[in-house]
Amino acid sequence: MPDPVTSAIVGSVIGSVIEGILAPAPQLPPPGIQRLLPAESRYGVMYPPDLALWTVQIGKTVYPLSPGVQVRNEFNFTILPSMVQHPTKVRYQLGFSGAVERIWILSPLEASLPENR
């Protein structure tokens, strides 16, 4: 005779696995939650920074990076400039000196918005 506690545990685990497999993958970031990026920020495609020269190419223009440049990923976490390894869609802000001070890497959902094209 099977143990009812073991049967209940096994049934619960199997049910959870099936539910996890059938559930759709979440979008990143979740729909409805959008970052409020500054209106004066610019849109562009950023290439991996040249850290030897402390510059970054956004579109066709090469900009110097500010000494305190702040790069934020799709989840709004601060990351190091060296962590950007591929061309990516971004919003960015220039400082008074013309150096890039802030960069926001756009999620696929943010990149699809009309203001980010």
Q: What is the pLDDT of residue 35?
A: 83
pTM: 0.71
Q: What is the pLDDT of residue 3?
A: 76
- Residue 69 inside a domain? The answer is yes
In the DSSP assignment, the letter for residue 92 is E
Residue of 30, 37, 27 lying closest to 116 (CA atoms): 37
Tell me the residue range of the domain where 72 lies.
Answer: 42-116
Place of tokens 């619960």: 12
pLDDT at residue 49 greater than cutoff 80: yes
- The torsion angles phi and psi of 103, rounded to 5 degrees, stand at -135, 135
Residue 110, domain CATH: 2.40.50
Residues 55-67 have pLDDT tens digits of 999 999 999 999 9
Residue of 34, 63, 62, 59 lying closest to 46 (CA atoms): 59
- Residue 62 inside a domain? The answer is yes
Measured CA to CA, the distance from residue 60 to residue 13 in angstroms comes to 53
- Residue 22 inside a domain? The answer is no
Q: CB of 82 within 8 A of CB of 49?
A: yes
Residues 69-117 have pLDDT tens digits of 999 999 899 999 999 999 999 999 999 999 999 999 999 888 888 887 7
Measured CA to CA, the distance from residue 55 to residue 49 in angstroms comes to 6
Q: Where are the alpha helices (DSSP H) in the chain?
A: 4-22, 108-111
